Structure 1
């Protein structure tokens, strides 16, 4: 108990300061009411829960700060610098405002720190006031968790955190203000002028902690994988900076395949030396071992796949087992482009189609005319027009299909558009497109292109599966090639020819005609005449067969890669092991030959992979594999490398770790354009990379990003933070 007179002259002789603040309940004490204007007001007991430091004086119907009075009576506070905390700190008409202001005052903070740091000799008061401090930390921590969760949400969704100009206009502050409407504690926190922990520097620190936490989880998983593959690609962002994306592929012991994005790295140039250095830096940062690298997958740029000094060659010099595969998605795209370039009829048709989509999609007026006419057609479809993109992998067939489905609406659109066009150039373009669309050659070329691209687009979609390996990609490609080869028959062409003529008749397009026979130059008058088609059917049959031949050959050439040779050896080893028992009973000489071939192929595989496989263990697995097919002879003709997965985990991991495409890198470019757009060009590379990690790895942010861990890492960097927030699971 203590009695004191305040510096302001207020007589505190009746104030009793015990070890605990006096906080009577409504059940035991009737708080007196005072008249304020036309209303009667009284102290509310619920205030004790929000502000535990309140000390109620029943005699004077006054409220004091128990913390500040305790520090003052112990002569721990200089009275001339104290505020009116030693007297009444409230008036009934604005009590809660007074309590909030006092809680944030310098005097109260100083008294709280002093009381909490009291030695053990004054433990009675220290224990009491530590409860108040613990309550204050819990409130501070609850407000800070709102800050953490808001940043996590915005980063996960790829949304801007800061605003343009004033930070108060940004998504982060506005999201906190929205939450504060339902949380008085957060609302009080947001009124702090200092140390509100919402500044851009704090945002960067929190984002970095979250990103590092996600990457640590991913890196730990990658280090457990027996083998790894590397995939990189580059693009330019909106500020003309070369961004290199790094993706690592792994295989678990349960044969689950994962492709993990590790970040974007700004580089000064994209030459082979710089990109190789970037890969080495990533392996060093994440503590990966190059001896685990069994695959590389890049595009066909010379810096990546150059035979003499490309990235693939430089990595192979480090470890020859890191087989290189030119991304099958890029290879298929190039094969389709080669086909369209070599067949003149297709090249012209795609050129006209590209001009159609440009005239329509880049003019709101013409597109409005098209949509109006399309709605008025009796058999209008819901399919709209799609731009014929020359670089996308899987949209060309859809673009040609949209033209064929909206052919009549397009024809009417050109007739109306040419009347409202003003400049002669636009009129000429519209007139040229209209004239080309009314020719049989364009219709035939468009339908033929759609037929071919439909199959290549389906193959491309299948190849983009994250779990697909290079060997499986080859198998899928062979299936697509068989489908294309099946179209090169007279029956298939007859059906296609009938469909084209039926479509031409519906659209009132002119009938097909043979080209005019050219006169032979005089210098070539001697000798036999060249071949001339007698019918239009045979004339267009030549284009049909030539297109299928070219696309089949282009795909075969693009997919016949040196890196696949070892997978072919593995497949040959399996087939030989399976077939050796086919002649076990009736052909001893054939059995001996198969055994010799299996040993020879086994030695070739073991010599390449070295200590990855134990020769004797692998031989035993192959024997088990052979016995399986001895009992299931009907499967002998369908033996592939995939059949070994249940018998050899090491071979299966080496097979699965090699990706078919670099599609994950391409997907990260889409995320890049969401995270770093023209309104967010001033962010640093470090902040951008951290935001990319959180945006790409949404599943990890949802499942593995523990805010308690982030909180403790954040407060551990400063004693002031630790005093303000405490530990996440701190028990008082």
Structure 2
């Protein structure tokens, strides 16, 4: 089978050249030619013993029609191996399907598992799979084998994700923690990077158990995880975590430990988290606000706590032709996410009042329930409670779109800053526009009167006896003081929200982000350029950058293009690949800017997957198995496009018994 080409000075395998269309053929011996003469003898022996060469030799003998006993045995063996391979391919495909869909592989017994159920279904339509499952010898469906297959599939998906990151060079890390059902602290690690087409990507790459939650332990865990991916931390340009002192501490937190070694790893406290904390700061210390929210929460819990009461409320609501929206409990941690609960409650406010009145006066109901209903009714009939719920609804309606927008994967830090500035402008406009506050109060007052809510009154005085003033008719001016009270309350809430956002948004490393933006838009000061040149001295040449800035300005002027912001610059470089080649320093700085993380939402998204996969029935699975299942479920698109042929081949090559079977 060995031939030699004098002109090329290379050896070829005639059998593999004949079978060049076979997927398992070795291109070195079939097309390119073998020329490593230092290892000539060992190379020939190795190829002669390789599985692909033996398979091709058997196939060629069968096709040539040789009928010797050895060849007939080889033909039978080859046919059986091909049948076995079809069954193995089915096992890999089934495992991949179950993992992608987040379904359990095992069951109470192996015979009742999802893996055996799907394989049994396939066996009805494929004789090779049916024969494989019915054989008395190994079927390669043991727990150990399925774990190896999951590990192979998980590693393959991870390679598909990591390869573009290595090609992009610059990246940022995003991490967050949660506790699973087995009371283990799980740390999710995501990587943010920018492709050559200037598209931002964020991918989950690891899920690890934290042996300790100290800053030192988490720092070591993250470092080990990044290095295990084959990434260089010296290319890391950002880090994003929540506000826990362990992660964001300025002295010994995880971010501070990384910056001691890698100063260019700018830290961003999750801006979505910051926005939520700002809303919390502005509302939770307001007595009227916390009182109104507690009344809403207690009323919803009173209705939902009893199936009988809940069904009674639904029937009452259906008879009154009210909206079919269900009452929702308040989100315990995310204040911005309380908007849906407040919306649903206010839409059914009148129905809730009528239902509570009906329950409190129904003598067939036990006294305890009637008294609770009466208590909730008295609380909800106060104008102050209704007004505070309406003002919370207004404030969160303004903030919620911004909160949703900054959670997108592809958003840049510059776009986030622009959205925050627009939000602050809206909030300050509500503070300064006194007439808007008065109009809002009048609308709430009319709406409350229609539903039978009490008229607004001034709060009781403290200390000496004071006059109790009630609002009766605003046309004669007797209610002016009440309007003043509630309009001032309106303005104060919006002012506190704006002040809280400003104080939360003042992060030290965001100043560096502003410097980068100024340099990219050629609006920088000497201080900005000096800071950037010092921080990123390994990423670009300052002198070359200045030349490229002039070059870019001339290019945009010649093309009649306007670059007013970073997004315009990104679109320009994304639409013209040659610009990145012509201006590599600007291109690198732009990629660094876009690589800096904005939120930790991507790290938090996998927690939902974690809770679905590691449910109360599956709390004993090993960490490596859990990680692979989460990776395959989160990255469903990448898993669906995996080429299983080389993956299965690599798995077969790991053991001799597999080579002899498949």
Residue 104 of structure 2: which of 141, 156, 160 is its match?
160
Q: Does residue 1:355 correspond to 2:298, yes or no? A: yes
Compute the displacement of 1:402 (Å): 0.3
Query: Which residue in 1 is equivalent to 2:227?
Result: 284
**Correspondence for 2:514 among 554, 568, 571:** 568
**1:153 positional shift:** 0.6
SS of equivalent to 1:265: strand
Q: 1:631 to 1:520 in 2, by over 3 A?
A: farther
Q: Could you say which structure has the greater relative contact order, defined with CA pairs below 8 angstroms and 6 or more residues apart?
A: 2
- Report deviation, 1:302: 0.6
CA distance in structure 2 between the partners assigned to 1:252 and 1:634 by the alignment: 24
**1:345, 1:543 within 8 Å by CA — same for their partners in 2?**
no
Whole-Å separation in 1 of the counterparts to 2:330 and 2:516: 41
1:503 and 2:430 correspond: no
Alignment pair present for 1:149 and 2:93? yes
Displacement after TM superposition at 1:642 (Å)? 3.5
Query: What is the CA distance between 1:519 and its match in structure 2?
Result: 4.2
Measured in 2, the distance between the counterparts of 1:696 and 1:707 equals 19
Shift, 1:149, TM fit:
1.0
Q: CA deviation at 1:543?
A: 0.8
Quick check: 1:257–1:466 contact (8 Å CA) kept in 2? Answer: yes
Q: Number of aligned pairs?
A: 573
Alpha-carbon offset, residue 403 of structure 1: 0.4
Of 160, 169, 175 in structure 1, the residue corresponding to residue 118 of structure 2 is 175
**Among 365, 377, 381, the residue aligned to 2:323:** 381
Change in Cα spacing, 1:394 to 1:207, as seen in structure 2 (3 Å) is farther
Corresponding position of 1:608: 535
> 1:623 pairs with 511, 527, 550, which one?
550
Q: In the alignment, which residue of structure 2 is the partner of 1:444?
A: 387
Aligned-partner Cα distance in 2 for 1:243–1:313 = 22
8 Å Cα contact 1:343/1:543 also seen in 2: no
Structure 1 or 2: more helix by fraction: 2
Alignment of 1:298-337 (within 5 A): 298-337=241-280
Task: Note the C-alpha offset of 1:600.
Answer: 4.5
Could you say if the C-alpha distance between residues 223 and 512 of structure 1 is closer, same or farther in structure 2, counting changes exceeding 3 Å? Answer: same
Structure 1 residues 250, 178: closer, same or farther in 2, change over 3 A? same
RMSD over aligned CA atoms reads 2.6
- Stretch moving more, 566-575 or 403-412: 566-575
Residue 209 of structure 2 corresponds to: 266
Q: Which residue of 2 aligns with 1:491?
A: 435
What do the CA deviations read for 1:52-108 (whole angstroms, capped 9, x no partner)?
A: xxxxxxxxxxxxxxxxxxxxxxxxxxxxxxxxxxxxxxxxxxxxxxxxxxxxxxxxx
Map 1:580-599 to 2 at 5 A: 598-599=525-526
Q: 1:351: Cα distance to partner?
A: 1.4
Q: 1:665 aligns with which of 585, 603, 606?
A: 603
Q: Helix, strand or coil: the match of 2:528?
A: helix
**Structure-2-length-normalised TM-score:** 0.82
- Given that 1:487 and 1:493 are in contact with CA atoms closer than 8 Å, whether structure 2 keeps it comes out as yes
Gaps of 5+ in 1: 1-114, 523-531, 579-596, 726-732
| CA distance in 1 between partners of 2:609 and 2:631 (Å) | 10
CA distance in 2, matches of 1:541, 1:697: 50
1:399 to 335, 341, 359: 341
2:487 equivalent in structure 1: 541
Give the Cα–Cα distance (whole angstroms) in 2 for the partners of residues 400 and 631 of structure 1.
54
TM-score (structure 1 length as normaliser): 0.74
Q: Distance in 1 between matches of 2:100 and 2:520?
A: 46
1:715 to 635, 638, 652: 652
Q: In structure 1, what is the Cα distance between the partners aligned to 2:370 and 2:166?
A: 63
1:201-280 correspondence runs (5 A): 201-280=144-223
Shift of 1:517: 3.4
Task: State the partner residue of 2:351.
Answer: 409
